[in-house]
Amino acid sequence: MDDVRTPLVSFYMTVRNGFPFLPKAIESIKNQTYLNWEAVIVDDGSSDDSVKYLREVERQDSRFRIIATEGVGRGKALNMAIENARGVYVANLDADDLAHPQRIDIQVSILIATGALFLYSDAEFVYDDGVADWTPISGPFNNHLDDVSMELMKRNPVSHISVISQRKSILEVGGYSQTRKSQLDYELWFRLVKHGIKLQKMGYTLVAKRIHTGQSFENKRRMKYLFSSTALQNKIITEMQGGIRYRIYPALRLLYGLLPQKLRVHIRQ
């Protein structure tokens, strides 16, 4: 499929050994009811057939642009995708997750109606090779937004895969950290808030987060992740001048992170 228009929205995605879930993520992008989009996908040194598959997707549909690397790290890969995007807005999706068919349609409608610079939605969960059971959403869409910026002192409230943001805003704060190994999104949201951007939540569920054993948080680096996350949260509390009463939240976050995965998901639901 060819579309010569300059896209309003650029999906951005990074991939490292995306199989077996990558094709489902790509299909969820292709199935968007909103049509004026592109997808910029950076392969971060895959050793499986991800690049071969993505090149075929790119050959068949010019809205997809693939950048293959030998492995540059997730932060740099995310920044490469955003830097190469042409859209006014950039919308994240991970290579193992799914977007509601109306995701961009609804998000663009609300962005235009409200003038928001950063939106996100709730996420549902799918397990292993499961599929999302999407319900069609009828308009007119609900433009009510909740500013969750101050919630950063308690937790990371933002579902990364649901985010759509003004591309310019992300570039102005320097993009994703290229030195952090985890919590790249949480740290970026903090810098956006310091820059005056409101983190605004929509009243819809527009993405599905896939839970599977291959995810980095569930591997042997889990403890390092937890302690790094706690340190970042304490830094955010300090710089946002949250005071002593907020210090309980990093401790609770650490205890929550030590729970088994399925129990954590059950609590979140």
Judged by DSSP in three states, 197 sits in: coil
Tell me the C-alpha distance between 245 and 214, whole Å. 36
Quote the pLDDT of residue 262.
79
Q: At the top level of CATH, which class does the domain 9-213 belong to?
A: alpha beta
Reported for 227-234, long-range contacts at CB under 8 A and 24+ positions apart, including other chains, are 227/254, 228/180, 228/181, 228/182, 228/183, 229/182, 229/183, 229/186, 229/253, 229/254, 229/257, 230/254, 232/183, 232/186, 232/187, 233/153, 233/155, 233/186
Is the CB of residue 246 less than 8 Å from the CB of residue 269? no
Instruction: Print pLDDT tens along the chain (269 aa).
Output: 555 579 999 999 999 999 999 999 999 999 999 999 999 999 999 999 999 999 999 999 999 999 999 999 999 999 999 999 999 999 999 999 999 999 999 999 999 999 999 999 999 999 999 999 999 999 999 999 999 999 999 999 999 999 999 999 999 999 999 999 999 999 999 999 999 999 999 999 999 999 987 765 545 578 888 899 999 999 999 999 999 999 999 999 889 888 887 788 777 76
Tell me the C-alpha distance between 198 and 213, whole Å. 34
Is the CB of residue 163 less than 8 Å from the CB of residue 118? yes
Is the CB of residue 253 less than 8 Å from the CB of residue 217? no
pTM: 0.92
What are the domain boundaries of the chain?
9-213
Quote the pLDDT of residue 258.
86
